[in-house]
Chain A
Amino acid sequence: MKQFYRNWIGILSLLLLVSSQTVVFAQTKTISGKVTDEKDQTSLPGVTVTVKGTTKRAGTDGDGNYRLADVSITDILVFSYIGYSSKEVSASSANGTILNVVLSTDATNLNEVVVVGYGTQKRSDITGAVASVDKKRLESLPNTNFAQALQASIPGLSIDQNAGGAEGNNYTIRIRGRNSITAETAPLIILDGVPYNGSISDINPPDIESIDVLKDISAAGIYGSRGANGVILVTSKKGARGKPVISYDGFYGLQNIANLPPTLTAEEFYNFKQTREPGSITLTEQAVYDSKNFPDWLGLTTRQGSKSQHTLGVSGGGESSRYYLSTTYLDIKGIAENDNFKRLSSRLNLESNVKEWLSLGTNTQLSYNNRDGLPASFDGLTGAYRFNPLTTPFNADGSLTIYPWDADRFFENPLAPTIATNDDKNYKIITNNFLDLKLPFIKGLGYRLNTGIEYTIRNQDTYFGVNTRTGLLTKGELTSVDNNNRNLLVENILNYNRTLKKHTIGVTGLYSWQEDVLRQDRVVGTGFPNDVLTYYQMNVASGILPSAGQYTGKTLISQMGRINYSYDSKYSLTLTGRRDGFSAFGNTKKYAFFPIAALAWNISNEKFLADNKFISALKLRLSYGSIGNQAVDPYSSLARLSTRSYVDGVNSAPGYVPTSLANPDLGWETTTGFNAGVDFGFLKGRIQGAFDVYSKKTRDLLLLRQISSVHGVSSVLQNIGETSNNGMELGLISTNFESAKFTWSTNATISYYRNKILDLYGDGRDDVASRYFIGQPIDVNYGLRFGGVWQTGDDFSKSPQAGAKPGYAKVIDANGSGKIETDLDRTINGSRQPDFIWGLGNNFKYRNFSFYVFMQGVQGTSRNNPLLSDAVQSRVRNNTTKKNWWTPTNPSNEFYMNSLNANLLGVGILQSDSYARLKDASISYDLPAKLLGQIKVSRLKIYANARNLFTITKWTGTDPELNTQEDIPLQREFIFGLNIGL
């Protein structure tokens, strides 16, 4: 606490010192005027006019007019509008009280306003590595969550879709690779200034105005510990002063399976089974085989999907208030049978200048998700991919069979989940409410109270009746799960912003408190009188199985001070100090302090470049600092016991067993590093871009270390080890060709990173048990290596592999010892770390037609392909993928023979999962202004889009991007859309 006061006193006295230069209040007047477009002199509605360094602002109305009261003649007015260069005009240049302004379209994006932590900054003043998402990725694409817009559109940001499905919200998002080995590596998402914890599919994409990504330590460090993995700032649309604008955006489309690996047909399976284990065909399989009536399990469990979304929005504003109101309905029927996702969301963003010194507002979203219905089962032993094709899906009356393979009742019908009764509703409120005060006596001093509440309720009820195997064996199984998730944020921010001649100074002080609480109650009941009441009959369950009541809470307290100083828009300096405290750390290790410094030099603002025809913008950035990562689960530092209850007769006997070890010294993981970047614009902004290099070291890793299970526990979370992560990234936007009728522009990103484990336990030893190797990337492929197939005629007497025969999998004797040793012959075989990742968008515009193509890819990764193994179980109970099996007449070196003994050591086959994908191809048409006038519409656009059209890869699984190769596949989509503005 003492430390805390000391920090605050420091910040406050600094503020006083700076502000003592303030003299008197100047004379004020009301200024009004009109804002027009430089090119066609049309009026611009919705331009934001701000008095620089204050919260005083106004917007232009439908005719481009604005009005601002209480403007001092020493004030600078800032005119900003999306897609246009911001312009700063001194109030003194007004003609009396009239100040008309002409804005030009954005040639160099260095002038745009970028959202940074706790405020906005002009791009030219920014010292950190901040990138904004190309607007084309946000508009006229059938995105149902923002990750789809982000993929490959920012250099250094990697997004991998882990799983398919209607909702499609399972992504791994990483900024600049990973520094941590086991701690969380996902970036922090800030929605309208408030940390967002929910699912990415709960933020409605049509409401998103912009997405900015803070990449380096100096930019992300503003958010302290939670920004250790970078920050994604999502800003929702705001209203602007003027007549109400009504808009409709909608699309409808179809979804089909992008790719499925070939599995054996029923007849091929029959032969495969006979070859592998003669006599293992059961009677019911033989009956199906004889009937030639074969089920196509993947066909039965998939369908043509569809996707539609409709958004209706109204925005506008009056003298003192602005609003944005929208409602979106999204309806997806996924390509997996019974996989549905519906979302209804409404947003109200409102801001009001109540008094000249007081403004307040809200950004609020209410949403309702409906995930009713369980999709068919794809994964695992009883999933559709590997389901035995010599089985019967339907009874004679058309109902599903309970046991599709009557001779082997282990197997549930993969379609069984589709007839379970499932209710899955999610209700969420995300509300950010703020208040801005202009404090008296000290000019430029403001206070902001920012609060955030995110509250989610999810109720899931599932009932499996006796018409399914699950329900039959339990006489009805009811699972009821209630999730209750609450995140609260209170931020107190003091801001001081002044411009004195060529000096601009901004000081920010922050005190924030944040609490996340998750509560889950889960009850499973079995044994019901009948199926009629489905999930409304827990009261008559004959048995309630162990029900989990889970509660986790974590608290984060932060104090931050930041100074931004810039001289003449040429030199900028940012100094940040942040002290964070986190509840899940050990008692003496809860708090840590992280300092950051950053510099920028706007070379293009120097005189010697002022008239340069080639260079239109050039800025150097340099930053250095440290940041902490606290991303561990609550109670990680405590020795927790697991419930292991016993029973005596019919009486429960509650029991516990220690399953984790305490670590009272658990504390912050710290990353220190530098970033050097250059932002450039050539040929009047025809080519623009940013290039960054960075180098980071992370120490005191929050490492889930594998320990000897002799401890009674097999892993413990410790602060040990060190990693490095270096990388480079380049983003380019170029206008390749431009004429009155035709424009061709390109947006390209490419990046790479190299992480490496520098140390683990301080003794230079690898941790083989955890697959951590010093000097190697974090996620390597490690194991025995497949070396092809033993062939007839090979010299088996010299074979290191005892018992090898022609057709068997060859294991490489990596250490050359002359025999295969399952421990010593394991080697590192590539890693999951890509050589580079890239994205390339091309936009062709001819008159009112646009054609947009976006490709993205990952290069240089490999992993074990689980489909390259005959995992059919003993007695061939599962189907498998088609392979080039070795036979005496087919001396394949690709895949070993179809035999129980061909791969006794279980060696896996590695494959490259690099890929290049045509992610989006779309064509759009904007109705010309002449026609728009006739139908009294201000904007009308129609478009068509194809997503995941094709993928180039050597990977033979379902998709290189998916984690699980045997789950719902990725879909290919064809979408038609319409945007209308009134």
Chain B
Amino acid sequence: MRKLNKIVIALLIVTLFHGCSKDALVENSPSVVLPENLYVNKAGFDAGINGLYDQVRRSRSGNTLGSVGAMMTGPAYVGTDNAYANWRDGLEDIYNNWGIINNAAVDHFRLEWAWLYETINAANTITTRAENPNISWSATDKNLVLAEARAIRAWSYRHLTYMWGPVPLTLTESSGSTIKTDWVRAPVSEVQAAMEADWLFAEQHLPVTSTLNGKILKGVAQHYLAELYLAQGKDAQARDMALKVTTNNNYRLVTARYGVKATQPGTPFTDMFLDGNSNRAQGNTEALWVLQAELNVIGGEPNNVMRRYWVNRYYSFTQGGRNPFLVSAEYGGRGIGRYGPTKWALGIYPAGDDRGSDFAWRFNYAINNPAGIPAGLKLGDIIQLDRTSNEKTVNANWPHTRKWDYASPVDPNVDRAYNDQVYLRSADTYLLLAEAQMKTGAPGDAATTINVLRNRAKAPTVSAAQINLDFILDERSRELFSEEERRYTLLRTGKLLERVRLYNVLARTTIADRDLLFPIPQSVIDANLTLKMPNNPGY
């Protein structure tokens, strides 16, 4: 019995208190990344910055993470004077029809808003935690991290203010113990002041060039500052800031053929959009910011939908009861033609302008479907698309821009695009400069600036007399169709309603004053429990 006693006591001691050490309940998961263990050194902050770049890249992805559905920043491009929705379903309906379907319950607005503030909070987390005195890093390293984070934060607020006008301004990391239910929509001027401070800081600390592709460069901060100053009516400041980009030889325009198809027919202008040519390291000196992607590499999946949305459904084109065109890499891969150019946008190119050429636009196809040859034609015959009727929805017989042509080497039907894409290039800055020059009373300088672009495109030059705001907006469309966030440009210049009513056949009768701003998402209003957040007028 005594022996048994010992066994029992030993068992009790061993088992009763098993695991009852102080940290038995402390969580320690090897697979969970926490701010406390990430933002502790340069490498950790770099990972945070990489996350921000992926967020930026999502602007051209589906609006839910990992999807190729409605494009995140689609509203910035479509439903303007130069682009309409060549489809009618869900979000696309809004761009053509506005009215009752443009309301606060539309899920896209919730998603885009949440994505922008997720990006802002990610940047805020970096700027807040970078001040931790326990991190050992050089002032240069720290300032570079802060510059990238702040530049992207300001970039997010730029989207927010153009989409929704006054929006809540938050510049510090969110915390679970202080949930706010009384967010206030800060005046646009207040948000712009924060953007200006961020971009000025970035302008000071970002490098002019980088050995890494895809990094945000000093020129980007200067470009956005110029745009911001124009929006604020500070035209001289805008001009000076834009000049910093256009006079920087590192950002010189591409004026000669280069890259992967340099020996094949083409133009310098369109070379920039070819897969393999978009990065600065590949010869694209004009690029200020290039979004990165890579097939079959971790981190390379962009869920990019630019090709998917801009390239039309030529495979649905019918003639004589036949489908003469098959999906092919040559034709830009499989697009689903959600967005298309308005008839006006197709018709503004002077003869000889590279930007309006067959290399920039798809106006015709050669018959490549042996089973779909219309009567009287043969394989390889060219069929011209219709460019004379007005734009209409669900129209496969309509040209599309070739800037986003891409086909996966695996199969041209693949949904996603994996090419690196120019997001911002100095040609855009040239046009900001021209606008600033015009507004500061120097139309001659503006004409000179624009002629740099026109010379590159082999378009006839213009004189000071031709320069006015509408001309500059036309020129922006010629140069930057589907690249610039057209809606923002038109809002900045106060021309959105006027030009949509002039040039967009579908939306001209449906767009209303209130559509200048989108509705604040209902869920954001609902969650502001203790202070009523007013929606934009008319919603």
Which B residues touch A905, using CB under 8 A? 100
Is there an interface contact between B180 and A710, defined as CB atoms closer than 8 Å? yes
Q: Mark A640-672, 1 if CB is under 8 A from B, else 0.
A: 110111111111111111110111110000000
* A581 touches B (CB below 8 Å): yes
* A590 touches B (CB below 8 Å): yes
Provide the bound-state CA to CA distance between A440 and B4, in Å.
9
Q: Mark B293-307, 1 if CB is under 8 A from A, else 0.
A: 111111111000000
Which B residues touch A280, using CB under 8 A? 394
Which A residues touch B53, using CB under 8 A? 646, 653, 655
Provide the bound-state CA to CA distance between A823 and B103, in Å.
9
The chain A residue sitting closest to B411, CB to CB, is A473
Provide the bound-state CA to CA distance between A270 and B175, in Å.
55
Which B residues touch A635, using CB under 8 A? 27, 29, 32
* B534 touches A (CB below 8 Å): no
Is there an interface contact between A583 and B27, defined as CB atoms closer than 8 Å? yes
Q: Mark A272-308, 1 if CB is under 8 A from B, else 0.
A: 0000010010110000000000000000000000000
Pairs A–B under 8 Å by Cβ, sample size 16:
A440-B1, A440-B4, A473-B408, A473-B415, A474-B414, A555-B25, A635-B27, A639-B34, A644-B50, A646-B299, A650-B294, A655-B50, A709-B114, A803-B99, A874-B394, A875-B394
Q: How large is the interface on A (under 10, 10 to 19, 20 to 34, 35 or more residues)?
A: 35 or more
Q: Which of A82-90, A542-550, A974-982 contacts B (4 or more CB under 8 A)?
A: A542-550
Which A residues touch B125, using CB under 8 A? 658
Provide the bound-state CA to CA distance between A652 and B54, in Å.
12
Contacting residues of chain A (940-980) with chain B, CB-CB under 8 angstroms: none
* A513 touches B (CB below 8 Å): yes
How far does the Cβ of B513 sit from chain A's closest Cβ, in whole Å? 16
Which A residues touch B322, using CB under 8 A? 283
Q: Which of B13-21, B348-356, B428-436, B498-506 contacts A (4 or more CB under 8 A)?
A: B13-21
> With A549-B31, A904-B101 in contact, do A646 and B54 touch (Cβ < 8 Å)?
yes
Which A residues touch B16, using CB under 8 A? 8, 492, 511
Contacting residues of chain A (690-730) with chain B, CB-CB under 8 angstroms: 705-714, 716, 718
Provide the bound-state CA to CA distance between A449 and B87, in Å.
69
Which B residues touch A640, using CB under 8 A? 32-34
Contacting residues of chain B (246-305) with chain A, CB-CB under 8 angstroms: 292-301
Is there an interface contact between B323 and A407, defined as CB atoms closer than 8 Å? yes
**Extra A-B contacts (14), CB below 8 Å, given A526-B410, A640-B32, A646-B292:** A439-B8, A513-B18, A635-B27, A637-B27, A638-B32, A648-B213, A654-B50, A656-B48, A664-B177, A665-B177, A709-B110, A709-B117, A763-B529, A802-B100
> With A357-B4, A557-B19, A639-B176 in contact, do A645 and B32 touch (Cβ < 8 Å)?
no
Number of A-B contacts (CB under 8 A): 296
Is there an interface contact between B22 and A1, defined as CB atoms closer than 8 Å? yes
Provide the bound-state CA to CA distance between A357 and B92, in Å.
78
> With A544-B298, A644-B54 in contact, do A654 and B47 touch (Cβ < 8 Å)?
yes
Is there an interface contact between A662 and B20, defined as CB atoms closer than 8 Å? no
Is there an interface contact between B25 and A582, defined as CB atoms closer than 8 Å? yes
Is there an interface contact between A490 and B524, defined as CB atoms closer than 8 Å? no
* A234 touches B (CB below 8 Å): no
Is there an interface contact between B296 and A655, defined as CB atoms closer than 8 Å? no
* A536 touches B (CB below 8 Å): no
> With A546-B298, A657-B54, A768-B526 in contact, do A409 and B327 touch (Cβ < 8 Å)?
yes
> With A282-B316, A635-B32, A639-B176 in contact, do A546 and B301 touch (Cβ < 8 Å)?
yes
How far does the Cβ of B323 sit from chain A's closest Cβ, in whole Å? 6
* B52 touches A (CB below 8 Å): yes
> With A645-B54, A710-B180 in contact, do A656 and B38 touch (Cβ < 8 Å)?
yes
How far does the Cβ of B81 sit from chain A's closest Cβ, in whole Å? 24
Is there an interface contact between A653 and B299, defined as CB atoms closer than 8 Å? yes
Contacting residues of chain A (383-413) with chain B, CB-CB under 8 angstroms: 407-410
Is there an interface contact between A765 and B298, defined as CB atoms closer than 8 Å? no
Contacting residues of chain A (105-124) with chain B, CB-CB under 8 angstroms: none
Which B residues touch A283, using CB under 8 A? 318, 321-323
> With A549-B31, A634-B29, A646-B299 in contact, do A657 and B122 touch (Cβ < 8 Å)?
yes
The chain B residue sitting closest to A494, CB to CB, is B12
Which A residues touch B113, using CB under 8 A? 709
* B24 touches A (CB below 8 Å): yes
> With A638-B27, A639-B35 in contact, do A649 and B394 touch (Cβ < 8 Å)?
no
- Name A residues whose Cβ lies closer than 8 Å to a Cβ of B: 1, 4, 8, 277, 280, 282-283, 357, 407-410, 437, 439-440, 447, 449, 472-475, 490, 492, 511, 513, 515, 526-527, 542-547, 549-553, 555, 557, 581-584, 587, 590, 634-635, 637-641, 643-659, 661-665, 705-714, 716, 718, 761, 763, 765, 767-769, 802-803, 822-823, 873-875, 900, 904-905
The chain A residue sitting closest to B185, CB to CB, is A710
Which A residues touch B292, using CB under 8 A? 646-649
Number of interface residues of B (CB under 8 A): 106
Which A residues touch B168, using CB under 8 A? 708, 710
Contacting residues of chain B (211-260) with chain A, CB-CB under 8 angstroms: 212-214
Provide the bound-state CA to CA distance between A582 and B24, in Å.
9
Is there an interface contact between B179 and A714, defined as CB atoms closer than 8 Å? no
> With A473-B415, A714-B114, A822-B103 in contact, do A409 and B334 touch (Cβ < 8 Å)?
yes
Is there an interface contact between A4 and B32, defined as CB atoms closer than 8 Å? no
Which A residues touch B413, using CB under 8 A? 409, 472-473
Provide the bound-state CA to CA distance between A56 and B480, in Å.
89
- Which listed residue, A277, A708, A712, touches B527 by the CB 8 Å rule? A708
Is there an interface contact between B35 and A658, defined as CB atoms closer than 8 Å? yes
- Which listed residue, B22, B170, B176, touches A710 by the CB 8 Å rule? B170
Which A residues touch B444, using CB under 8 A? none
> With A544-B296, A709-B524, A712-B118 in contact, do A583 and B529 touch (Cβ < 8 Å)?
no
Is there an interface contact between A555 and B24, defined as CB atoms closer than 8 Å? yes
Which A residues touch B452, using CB under 8 A? none
> With A641-B35, A822-B104 in contact, do A712 and B120 touch (Cβ < 8 Å)?
yes
Is there an interface contact between A656 and B296, defined as CB atoms closer than 8 Å? no
Contacting residues of chain B (42-82) with chain A, CB-CB under 8 angstroms: 47-55, 57
Which B residues touch A767, using CB under 8 A? 526-527, 529
Which B residues touch A639, using CB under 8 A? 34-35, 176
Which A residues touch B104, using CB under 8 A? 822-823
- Which listed residue, B18, B54, B100, B110, touches A904 by the CB 8 Å rule? B100
* B361 touches A (CB below 8 Å): no
Which A residues touch B114, using CB under 8 A? 709, 714
Which A residues touch B170, using CB under 8 A? 710-711
Which A residues touch B439, using CB under 8 A? none
How far does the Cβ of B510 sit from chain A's closest Cβ, in whole Å? 11
Provide the bound-state CA to CA distance between A543 and B316, in Å.
32
Provide the bound-state CA to CA distance between A549 and B32, in Å.
10
Provide the bound-state CA to CA distance between A53 and B55, in Å.
67
Is there an interface contact between B414 and A656, defined as CB atoms closer than 8 Å? no
Provide the bound-state CA to CA distance between A584 and B32, in Å.
13
- Which listed residue, B12, B92, B122, B181, touches A712 by the CB 8 Å rule? B122
* B528 touches A (CB below 8 Å): yes
How far does the Cβ of B178 sit from chain A's closest Cβ, in whole Å? 9
Is there an interface contact between A708 and B183, defined as CB atoms closer than 8 Å? yes
Provide the bound-state CA to CA distance between A449 and B10, in Å.
13
Is there an interface contact between A1 and B89, defined as CB atoms closer than 8 Å? no
Provide the bound-state CA to CA distance between A892 and B385, in Å.
44
Is there an interface contact between A647 and B293, defined as CB atoms closer than 8 Å? yes
Provide the bound-state CA to CA distance between A616 and B65, in Å.
65
Provide the bound-state CA to CA distance between A472 and B414, in Å.
9
How far does the Cβ of A182 sit from chain B's closest Cβ, in whole Å? 15
Is there an interface contact between B300 and A658, defined as CB atoms closer than 8 Å? no
> With A709-B523, A712-B120 in contact, do A584 and B27 touch (Cβ < 8 Å)?
yes
Which A residues touch B49, using CB under 8 A? 655
Contacting residues of chain B (75-124) with chain A, CB-CB under 8 angstroms: 87-89, 92, 99-101, 103-105, 110, 113-114, 117-122, 124
The chain A residue sitting closest to B125, CB to CB, is A658
Is there an interface contact between B27 and A551, defined as CB atoms closer than 8 Å? no
Is there an interface contact between A663 and B177, defined as CB atoms closer than 8 Å? yes
* B376 touches A (CB below 8 Å): no
